[in-house]
Amino acid sequence: AQTVTQSQPEMSVQEAETVTLSCTYDTSESDYYLFWYKQPPSRQMILVIRQEAYKQQNATENRFSVNFQKAAKSFSLKISDSQLGDAAMYFCAYRRREGGGADGLTFGKGTHLIIQP
């Protein structure tokens, strides 16, 4: 079974600074997808960024970028120019490639990101 580990229960960063959230995963499969989701307090979970394992290029979405190290099974999220609206729980998630039965996401426990003004 796949597992996703987020070793940082909580991170704090000053507004406008850069922060990196860590994620490692364990899988025996070679083709899969990785995601970062954001869950603000009492609000719905939204997708921040996604990465396909067969792509070597790291994904980027505006201020959000990832460092995907397939051999190390590491998938960290970098947030540049942190804003107060970035404060939330951040979840790393894994999904196997199409096929087979289980098609749900496997999530880590999350990292609580605090933005200090």
Partner 1 sequence: DTGVSQNPRHKITKRGQNVTFRCDPISEHNRLYWYRQTLGQGPEFLTYFQNEAQLEKSRLLSDRFSAERPKGSFSTLEIQRTEQGDSAMYLCASSRAGKSNQPQHFGDGTRLSIL
Separate counts of helices (H) and strands (E) for the chain: 0, 12
Cβ closest to partner 1, residue 14 vs residue 55: 55
Query: Which DSSP helix (H) or strand (E) runs through 100?
Result: none
**Do you know the residue count of the chain?**
117
- Going by the DSSP 8-state scheme, the letter that residue 75 receives in this structure is E
Where do we find the tokens 């290029």? 57
What's the one-letter identity of residue 74?
S
98: contact with partner 1 by CB under 8 A? yes
CB–CB of 60/83 below 8 Å?
Answer: no
46: contact with partner 1 by CB under 8 A? yes
Q: Which of 41, 85, 101, 117 binds partner 1 (CB under 8 A)?
A: 101
117: contact with partner 1 by CB under 8 A? no
75: contact with partner 1 by CB under 8 A? no
26: contact with partner 1 by CB under 8 A? no
Applying CB under 8 A, the residues found at the interface with partner 1 are 4, 33, 35, 37, 43-47, 50, 52, 91, 93, 95-98, 101-110
